[in-house]
Structure 1
Amino acid sequence: MDNLIYLQISSGRGPAECERVVAKVQQLLLKDATERSLSAIVIDKTNGQINGTLQSTLLQLQGENLKDFVNEWEGTIQWIGKSPYRKFHKRKNWFVSVQSFSPSKEILFDAKEVEFKTCRASGPGGQNVNKTETAVRATHIASGISVMASDTRSQHQNKKLAIERLQLKIKAWQMDEQMSNIEAQWSQHTNLKRGDAVKILTGDL
């Protein structure tokens, strides 16, 4: 398993008690990660109906031996405890889900996979800056992303600028793709499967 992974804790469509469990499980999970020398940070969250509750939360974990940690937490978490919000409510079992997913695989930049085309640089109103083809368009073949550089009168310098800009643009594109995957996973937080709990916890909410 990669040494970077995301964990989503969700109450699904559960009541405020389940949202309280999300907040409690987040605390326990972060504590457990720290004790195992893992880096764990909250990168996004949706607050619940009541102060101190969370509908969903998204954690980023980094470190070695993440597989064992994820295997212990991923799935349905059952919390047994009395409701702090409804004094005479008989229900004592509350469920939340923990789901993991990995970031998108990064595309390794290789200048050999870049196609270069030269053209004449043009000034304002279409005026030619010079008569030689010094502008450079660089296209990353694998992704189809392209950039143009015509800042200098040197084709060689423009080529270097194009490569630098292409690397930055590819990195930004990869981050957008990664966030899209995270948002797609986030939108599924209402699909909570009860039963077959991987952890059963007890205590006051």
Structure 2
Amino acid sequence: MTEIILHLTSGKGPDECCWVVAQLSRAFTREALKDGVACEVINSGEELPASLLMSVTGDQAQAFVSARVGTIQWIGDSPFRPRHKRRNWFVGVNIAPSPDAMPDLRDEDIVFQTMRASGPGGQHVNKTDSAVRATHRSTGLVVTAQEQRSQHANRKLARQKLAVLLDEQRQKASDSARQVQWSAHQNLERGKSVRTYTGPLFSLKSSC
């Protein structure tokens, strides 16, 4: 069965964009049911996530993802600043880089440490030593994963998070003008939305 990891990001946007990221993840979950695929958040327990990862699985996963990768626009009043004049908010959706495709993300390149899960993280956080801290040896990048139920799943998630950070780091170092994958976290292309949602119920706006 095909699995694709999506990255939803607010870029450098304000709290409204973080709110849109959270709402968009719920919209994708609803839409997935109609399209016969499974779509679920795998890494965020925050109410206003700057970014999050979603797992999309199923025979139609590729088609589902293809229709959503790019800039997403939400039209609506700020849920935090009622008198704010801005009504157009933009977030980015991209396919996450695969850790297996990155030669410097082998298990021997990472130091894994187990720890007890704690703090916010929803129903999956428990009192067992299932949480994982992963340190990339050559760069010193550190991530933690405690959102999944098992240590094995959290190790996999930690590798995915490291892949995200490494990819972002390389994009910044190269100062490339190409808008690919995770560079959208820094630069969202306004005015070329692949999907537009409106109102507090996050309804999909027809292109007609």
Above 0.5 in TM-score? Answer: yes
Paired amino acid for 1:196: K
Paired amino acid for 2:192: D
Gaps of 5+ in 2: 109-151, 170-181, 202-208
> What is the RMSD computed on CA atoms of the aligned residues?
3.1
Gaps of 5+ in 1: 107-142, 146-170
Matching residue of 2:40: 41
1:178–1:24 distance in 2 versus 1, CA, 3 Å: closer
Work out which of the residue numbers 98, 101, 122 in structure 2 matches 1:103. 98
Write the distance in 2 (CA, Å) between the matches of 1:43 and 1:64.
19
In structure 1, the residue corresponding to 2:193 is in which secondary structure?
Answer: coil
CA contact (8 A) 2:9 2:52 kept: yes
CA contact (8 A) 1:5 1:102 kept: no
Q: Deviations over 1:59-109 (max 9, x none)?
A: 111111222211211100010001121121110000000001363458xxx
Return the offset for 1:185: 4.7
In structure 2, the residue corresponding to 1:78 is in which secondary structure?
Answer: strand
The structure whose Rg is larger is 1
Q: Are 1:75 and 2:57 matched, yes or no?
A: no
Aligned-pair identity in percent equals 35
Q: Are 1:180 and 2:187 matched, yes or no?
A: no
Instruction: Give the TM-score taking structure 2 as reference length.
Output: 0.56
Matching residue of 1:19: 18
Matching residue of 2:191: 195
Number of equivalent positions: 138
Instruction: Give the TM-score taking structure 1 as reference length.
Output: 0.57
1:186–1:22 distance in 2 versus 1, CA, 3 Å: farther
Q: Deviations over 1:122-154 (max 9, x none)?
A: xxxxxxxxxxxxxxxxxxxxx9x8xxxxxxxxx
Q: Point out 4+ residue stretches in structure 1 off by more than 6 angstroms.
A: none
CA contact (8 A) 1:10 1:190 kept: no
